[in-house]
Structure formats: structure tokens, C-alpha cells
Amino acid sequence: MKEKIYAIELNNITKTFGEVVANKDVCLNVCHGEILAILGENGSGKTTLMNMLSGIYHPDSGEIQINGQPVTINAPKDAIDLKIGMIHQHFKLVDVLSAADNIIMGRHQKSKKTRKSKLPSELSALCESFGFDINLSKKIYEMSVSEKQTVEILKVLYQGADILILDEPTAVLTPQETKKLFAILKNMKQSGAAIVIITHKLGEVMEISDRVTVLRKGESIATVETAETTPKQLTELMVGRPVSLEIERPGVEQEKNMFEVHRLSVKNNDGVYALKDVSFSLNGGEILGVAGVAGSGQKELCETIAGLLPAEKGAVLYHEENILGKTPAEIINLGISMSFIPEDRLGMGLVSSMDITDNMLLKSYKNGKSPFVNHKPARELAQSLVEKLEIVTPSIKTPVRYLSGGNVQKVLLGREIESNPNLLITAYPVRGLDINSSYKIYDLLNEQKKKGVAILFIGEDLDVMLGLCDRVLVLCHGEITGIVDAKTTTKEEIGLLMTGETKTQQEEDAE
């Protein structure tokens, strides 16, 4: 093996941020014509590692070899010169320009003429050879997420990259779009590109990769041939011990239509309809999942119910009382709890500079008549949550911004659950959590469900939603494309609904 020249070879890469060790002695390699998956839970150092390859960070120690040559990558430009192309989770495109303009942007041009005449033909040749199906003159802001991703990939290919790194490329894609992407990646592999795909989804690893390198807590634990492994083995490598992947779905006596949303339309801050004519009902003791590509109106749905966003029309009935127009404080007092875990985790549920105790007070500080805040019950609550949910923190006096993402989420969700809600809205509660913590959260939700609480679960992982929820509602561009029974539906069906095909259309197609 030693004589083989790898496209990328990392030897003992270590990177620390302050006291936090993001990567420790990481070794991995990938050849041309191969797809390597880097698998690891959030916080295991995958993105840091790839950022070092693209010149955003610099390793503290260790060696990077590209095509057999040791290199130092100081800036993204160095990476481009080394033919490394990185596709980030968040696209870096100029909205008002066309796809072609975005692709050629930043390239040295010998004369201004080339821009208009020669490039598009080169580009369309590129598209053809890899099987991209895209209109190059379309403006970015008119594009779907998947099209934008295609532009990003084309951009790095056009820059001459033959080493491609994709950071969680499927997070924003529907199952169908994922299939398309994988077909393209396979084409690229055939033509000799080296591809690294970062992910935490086991199914995708099994489907696309040739080899898998598993990271755990910043260390490269193992590299295995995909053909010789199983999802179960990979999970064990990732978590460090055997885990069960079964999610419990207790059957509960349900209180019918405790909560109803009737023909709700909401405009977002830009004045665009984020929800259109949305109607559904939710029973007590039921978990209703909300699926959809990111940005399909999930956030607006949560915020409208919590009283943070005014509705254009429609009604939100809670025990047959319309709560639209009530203030957030009144809605909280009704026992409606909303916890939205945004991408940056802290978002609006917690105050990052405050400690756990003060965060416990966020919705209850007004209790009592005294002008002073009563810290005692909050301290006790904080202490009991830390013990019950195994929150890792130096003390309850530590500001929450120093806690890791998973622990922050436990603090938020713990507080919401301790407020004994009747309706619990939770968006992305396991976002970025390790497997163990995720299951802890599912247990907490099920516990609430058994108490008869109505739960609206906005999620991203379809496998989880199929296992945990009773019914799944699918949103696409702010409209409900279907509400399906989680016990009988399939991922593919939900995937189709996510792309905007309604149920009736599907039936017609089937005929």
C-alpha cells in the first residue's frame, strides 16, 4: 500500500481550539477514482478536518500530502491551486447573478471577451460530461436548493478541482434529489476524481462510498471497506459501544382535536407567504411530525403558534379557543410551549451569556409579586435537570454558551418539559446531538406523550420521524402536501410529498 499515491493523505493531524481538541492524530487517505465517506457524529471534528484541507484552518501539527507531496494550505486559494474543491453546507453564491456568472466568478480571465463567448460552451461541455442537468443562465435566487448545490459543484469543477469535498451535501435535499446527486458523484468518480463526503447518515454511507473513515471525538477510529461493513457496525464505531436503533412508539389514549390549525396563512418578514392555507389537527397524546425541506415554513408555523408572528388569515384553535392575536405571554400561560432549535442551537430559546439557573427563569421569572427574581426554585430546577438529563457542565453557574450543543439542547428541552405544557412544539430537538442524547430526547418526548401532551415534532431525519411520530405532515413551500400515517408510509412517499407532489397527483401518476 505504501507505494500507492493518494490524492489526499492526512498523517496525524491535530487541531485544537483553546482547550477543545477538535482533531487528534487523524489519519486518512483517499485515492483518485474513489469515494471516501467520513462518518461521525456532530462535534466529532469532521468539518474542522475538511476546513484544514480547504485552507480555512491550519493544523497545529501533522502532515497533509496532496498527490504524494507534503503541502501547507494557508488560504482557500492554495486549496484551489491544489485542485481541491470544497462544497460547504451553506452555499456561497451571489443570488442576483446567473449560474454561469457564479461559476466563472473569481477566475483569472485573460480578456473580457471570454466571459461572454467561450465560457458557456466550456461549461455546457462540463455539464454534459458529468450528467448535470441545469440551465446556466438561470439566476441563483430563482433556483431550488438542489440546483444551487449543482452550481456549487460545477464551480469547483470549473476551477479544475479533481479532489472534491462535500460537507453534509444531502442535509438540504429530498431523497429524490439525493439520488440525482449520487449519480453525478459516481460519474465523477469514474472519471478519476477523488471524492470525500462528510455525513452522519448511515444509509448514504452504505449507498455511495467505497471506504468509510469513522471519526469519534476528533480521532480517526477506523477505516473500513463499505462492502465489508454493516450500518450496525458503523454505528458502534461511531458511538463507541453497541446501541439499539429502535425508537419506541407507545400507543396512547388520545384526546381528539385538542389543537387545530384552520386555513392558516402567514407572511414572513419579507412579505412573502411562508404558510398558505395550512390546516391540520393534533390530538392530545399524539406526536405529529412535520417533514419538509429546510425553509418550507416550519419556522413560521412554530412562531405563529407561539404568538411571535402575526397571521394573515385563518385560525389556531386550542381547546376550541382561537389563540391567534394573543400575546406570547398569554400563550405561554395557556400551557403551550415552543422550543425551536435553530442551526446555531442557542437561537431564541436560551440566553447564551446567562447560566443554567438564569435560563430556567426565562419564562417563569415573573412568578410571584416581589419585584425581585426568586432564584431559589430555578437553582433547584437547574440542579435536578443536570442530574436527570446528565447535562455535562462544570456547574449550574456556567454560562450556557460554554456548554456543548447537546447539553444546550437538554437545558432548553428540559426547561420546556418541566413547565408541564399541554402542547409541546419542538423543532429539531435532536439537531446535532449524538445518538445517545438523541434517544434520551425521544424518551423525554414519549414520556410527555404518555401524559397526554400533544406534541408537534418538526424534524429533518425521516427515519426518526417514521419511528417516533404517529402521523407525519409534509410541508412544501408553505403548503401541506400530505398528512400520512407514520406506521404505514414509506420514506419515498414522504420524499415525493416534500418535492411538492400532492397525494392525489401521486395516485394519478400511479395509474
Partner 1 sequence: MIANGTRTHEPLVRIAKRRERSRAELILLRAAAFLLAIVAGGAFIALLGHSPIEVYAEIFKGAFAGNKRDPLSAVKQTLVFFVPLIVTSLGLSLAFRMKFWNIGGEGQIIMGGIFATIFALYSTDNPGAIPSFILLPLMFVAGALGGGLMALLPAIFKIKFGTNETLFTLMLNYIALYFLKYLVSGPWQRTPGFASIGNFDKSARMWEIGGFHASLLVAAALVIFVHFYIKKSKQGYEISVVGESQPTARYAGMNVGKIILRTMFLSGAICGMVGMIKVSSTYTLTEGITGGVGFTGITVAWLSQFNALGMVLVSLLFAILQKGSSVMQTSLGLSADASNVLQGIILFSFLGTEFFTRYKFVFKKNNSKEKE
- Residues near partner 1 (CB under 8 A) are 17-20, 58, 60-61, 63, 66-67, 69-75, 78, 81-83, 306, 308, 327-332, 338, 347-354, 358, 361-363, 365-366, 371-373, 402
CA angle 339, 342, 347 (to 5 degrees): 75
Q: Which is nearer to partner 1, 208 or 331 (CB)?
A: 331
Q: Which is nearer to partner 1, 347 or 467 (CB)?
A: 347
CB of 173: closest distance to partner 1 in angstroms? Answer: 28
CB of 18: closest distance to partner 1 in angstroms? Answer: 4
CB of 328: closest distance to partner 1 in angstroms? Answer: 4
CB of 324: closest distance to partner 1 in angstroms? Answer: 16
Q: Which is nearer to partner 1, 279 or 353 (CB)?
A: 353
Q: Which is nearer to partner 1, 55 or 285 (CB)?
A: 55
Q: Which is nearer to partner 1, 126 or 354 (CB)?
A: 354
DSSP-derived 3-state class of residue 344: coil
Q: Which is nearer to partner 1, 403 or 486 (CB)?
A: 403
Whole-number Å distance between alpha carbons of 311 and 58: 48
Q: Is 96 exposed, middle or buried (0-12, 13-18, 19+ CB in 10 A)?
A: exposed
CB of 493: closest distance to partner 1 in angstroms? Answer: 34
Q: Which is nearer to partner 1, 19 or 509 (CB)?
A: 19
337 with 421: CB under 8 angstroms? yes
252 with 450: CB under 8 angstroms? yes
Q: Among candidates 380, 357, 356, 377, which has minimal Cα distance to 368?
A: 377
Whole-number Å distance between alpha carbons of 41 and 218: 10
Identify the residue whose cell numbers are 418550507: 296
CB of 19: closest distance to partner 1 in angstroms? Answer: 4
* Long-range contacts at 391-397 (CB < 8 A, ≥ 24 apart): 391/356, 393/356, 396/355, 396/356, 396/357, 397/355, 397/356, 397/357
Q: Which is nearer to partner 1, 125 or 392 (CB)?
A: 392
Tally of CA atoms within 13 A in the half-sphere of 12 that contains its CB: 3
Q: Which helix (H) or strand (E) holds 298?
A: helix 298-305
CB of 66: closest distance to partner 1 in angstroms? Answer: 6
- For 19-79, the DSSP string reads TEEEEEEEEEEE-TTEEEEEE--TTSSHHHHHHHHTTSS--SEEEEEETTEEE---SHHHH
CB of 163: closest distance to partner 1 in angstroms? Answer: 10
Q: Which is nearer to partner 1, 73 or 185 (CB)?
A: 73
293 with 422: CB under 8 angstroms? no
Q: Which is nearer to partner 1, 245 or 348 (CB)?
A: 348
The dihedral over CA atoms of 343, 348, 349, 355, expressed in degrees to the nearest 10, equals 100
Q: Among candidates 95, 207, 187, which has minimal Cα distance to 141?
A: 95
DSSP-derived 3-state class of residue 385: helix
Whole-number Å distance between alpha carbons of 335 and 299: 20
CB of 481: closest distance to partner 1 in angstroms? Answer: 29
CB of 425: closest distance to partner 1 in angstroms? Answer: 12
Tally of CA atoms within 13 A in the half-sphere of 261 that contains its CB: 22
